Amino acid sequence: MNRAALRDLLQTQRRSIWPQDVGLSPRSKSGLYQGEVATLLHVSVQTYRRLEQGQPHIPDFDLLARVARLFHLNEVEWADLCRYARDCDPPHPIRPNSGLEIPAAWAEFIAGIPHPAWVTDQQWNVLAFNEAWAEVHAAGRPPANHMEWMLLDRSARDTLIDWETYWLPSVLTELRTAVDALKDDPTLREIERAVRNDAIVGPRYASLPRAHTSTDGEHRPLWHHKRGPIWVTLLSSMPSDSPRARFGGLLLRSERPHGPRRMLTAPQRPLDLGQAAA
């Protein structure tokens, strides 16, 4: 337990809530009293006070989740709360639609990127994409679900050159990882069922070792509808407030890059402790 960080997080959030936003009588200043928080959480004042002060006990996840929802914590803050209070990651997202929605500003951001780019939710449904990604496809529009397309749509095997060698293993691993993490997701389960029943990908999936994979920075061959055969470098990241949603992009290459994957690091600078203290 990180008592100081837990206290700072809860006090900051408690003092930012307007009483009228949680059903209490309006006041001219934001902030809730500890007793008001306890009443809203249906716990004793002592129980909430001990939590905020980080007194030696391990709070259960149900109480932490009720606090997170009352204080309107985002997913990053919810993760911080669990780590500060219990020294572990949260057992589940705090919002019902977390992983299925992203801030709308992502669409505007992606539209301004010159390279093919998109965002998908945790089910690999495409939430936003740009014109450069649409131009890759003969139909002038990307598929609605990237996972379903890459594994089950025959057109993907023309677009994703050497599909069985370069693309299939990592995509199957991504599906296995997602299904293991989101066992109750109906869309992922339906995609997995179709994959298991497919004559080509089914046997590969059944014999797949349980391992994680990362394609960030990897190179793959691809057929571009307007440019023909090219190489691409895959880029991926995760919106911090939407766990398991994905931002993806491609850097287009005229030929395959060679050599080890290049990494960026900050320049090493000697730290002047005297100047830092001043």
pLDDT of residue 92: 82
**How confident is the prediction along the chain (278 residues), in pLDDT tens digits per residue?**
788 999 999 999 999 999 999 999 999 999 999 999 999 999 999 999 999 988 867 889 999 999 999 999 988 898 899 999 999 988 888 887 888 888 899 999 999 999 999 999 999 999 999 999 999 999 999 999 999 999 999 999 999 999 999 999 999 999 999 998 888 899 999 999 999 999 999 999 999 877 666 788 999 999 999 999 999 999 999 888 787 899 999 999 989 888 777 888 888 777 666 655 55
The DSSP code sequence of 139-153 is TSS--SBHHHHHHH-
pLDDT of residue 273: 60
The DSSP code sequence of 160-221 is STTIIIIIHHHHHHHHHHHHHH-TT-HHHHHHHHHHHH-TTHHHHHHT--S-----TT-EEE
Which positions ≥6 away from 161 have C-beta within 8 Å?
220, 221, 222, 223, 229
pLDDT of residue 194: 97
Under 8 Å between Cβ of 233 and 253: yes
3-state secondary structure of 73: coil
Nearest to 171 by CA among 198, 205, 141, 126: 205
Q: How far is CA 65 from the centre of its chain?
A: 19
Distance between CA atoms of residues 134 and 136, nearest Å:
5
pLDDT of residue 176: 93
48, two tokens: 């909430």
pLDDT of residue 274: 63
pLDDT of residue 57: 78
